[in-house]
Amino acid sequence: MPNLEENLRYATTREQRCLRLDELASLFPILRHPSLEGCRLDDELKHGSSVRYRLVCASPQVASGTARLDVGERIAGILEIKMGGKNMTFSQSIEAVRQRDCEPSQRK
């Protein structure tokens, strides 16, 4: 994205968190960026160990795109986005390694 500083274009972030299978759509950090507010991954389609999503935005002029995740002991995925009304596309890729089961939710 042209408005990002050069040193952020290929930024690598690392985090460790508990993630359940129904939360896979939250894996892409770029979806928390203000320019994509109102956008989410939806229309989940599973085929074997692959999961595909369509990027749905409250305003279709904001962006469009798709995401694909390959799920197993490792998770690899790519989100491809076209910003609406602009000739600008970008992608974000993720990789994750399963370490253990999530702790059960604690009930009060």
Question: Containing domain of residue 34, as a range?
Answer: 25-97
Q: Compute the C-alpha angle 24/41/25, nearest 5°.
A: 10
* Domain-located, residue 6: no
On whether residue 9 sits in a domain, the answer given is no
Q: For 66-81, what is each residue's pLDDT tens digit?
A: 999 998 888 899 999 9
**d(Cα 88, Cα 83) in Å, to the nearest integer?**
6
pLDDT-above-90 percentage for the chain = 36
- Using pLDDT thresholds of 50, 70 and 90, give the confidence band for residue 6: low
Q: Is residue 61 part of a domain?
A: yes
In a domain, 102, yes or no: no
pLDDT tier at 107, thresholds 50, 70, 90: very low
Q: Please tell me the total count of domains within the chain.
A: 1
Within a domain: 55: yes
The pair phi, psi for residue 6, each rounded to 5°, is -55, -40
What's the pTM value of the predicted model, to 2 decimals? 0.78
Does 88 fall in a domain? yes
Q: Is residue 31 part of a domain?
A: yes
